[in-house]
Amino acid sequence: MTSTTTPARRPRRPALRGLRGASAAVVLSLAATGCALGPTSAAAPAAEGNAAQAHAAPTALPAAGDLTSSCTRPSPGGGPAALLAVELTAQGDQLVIAFTLEQTVRDELVVRLTAGPGTAVAGDEQPALVVTATVRGSVPVALRITTSTGSGSARAPEDHLHVMGNQVHVGVPRSLLVTVGDQWHWSATATSGTTRARCPAAAGSGDRGSAVVVG
């Protein structure tokens, strides 16, 4: 496992007090982000609006935040899914996940953040938090948040996704981090068609060979 980057200052998060407390926090967070809750809720349908709507989403990456973490060593490879970097920045009650790709986003692209508690990545680990966003060119298509207690899809993904050139920004409630605790690890992927990239690059053939450690 390789680890990089720690936060500039540890974020203030509510203490995890068992499954019920975590479930309540996740429910409130998903409700705040406009998500429909349920273990089998479907992804939001594609929006057919003006592509320029994507640029109005409030997901600009803060210049500074009380939580910053980044990955700059993605897996090699070309194509529309090739990554340059992935950054996490939390400021106030918002967490912004910024994916920077090698190419301008023109086709359907799925980006995903996977996070779990602790500093070690177990072979049989079940992620505590998964944020999955789908865009088609500059148009947001879907945003889905999955935790150990359920999942939800954004009713208006354009409110939470922002595509600009070769960057995709995803804005979610910072309170979702209650699911991973004070010390945690994460990795990210980008998929477009048959091409796929991961950050950090996996140490082996599996997806869980490496992660960025926070805390």
Whether residue 158 lies inside any domain: the answer is yes
With a pLDDT cut of 90, the percent of the chain lying above it is 55
Rank 25-39, 119-133, 160-174 by mean pLDDT and report only the highest. 160-174
Whether residue 181 lies inside any domain: the answer is yes
The CA–CA distances, whole Å, from 22 to 17, 93, 103 equal: 7, 17, 38
Please state, rounded to an integer, the average pLDDT across all residues of the chain.
76
Confidence band, pLDDT 50/70/90 cuts, at residue 61: low
Instruction: Please state the domain count of the chain.
Output: 1
Does pLDDT of 29 surpass 60? Answer: no
Whether residue 197 lies inside any domain: the answer is yes
Report d(CA 124, CA 115) in Å as an integer: 14
pLDDT of residue 59: 59
Q: How many CB atoms lie within 10 A of CB 194?
A: 7
Q: In residues, how long is the chain?
A: 215
Task: Give yes or no for a contact between 142 and 154, defined as CB atoms under 8 angstroms apart.
Answer: yes
Average pLDDT over residues 51-78: 68
CATH of the domain at 84: 2.60.40
Whether residue 149 lies inside any domain: the answer is yes
Whether residue 128 lies inside any domain: the answer is yes
Whether residue 166 lies inside any domain: the answer is yes
Domain that holds residue 147: 18-38+53-214
Whether residue 4 lies inside any domain: the answer is no
Q: How many helices (H) and strands (E) does the chain have?
A: 1, 13
Average pLDDT over residues 59-86: 84
Does pLDDT of 122 surpass 70? Answer: yes
Whether residue 175 lies inside any domain: the answer is yes
Q: How many CB atoms lie within 10 A of CB 187?
A: 24
Report d(CA 116, CA 190) in Å as an integer: 18
Nearest to 1 by CA among 205, 212, 193: 212
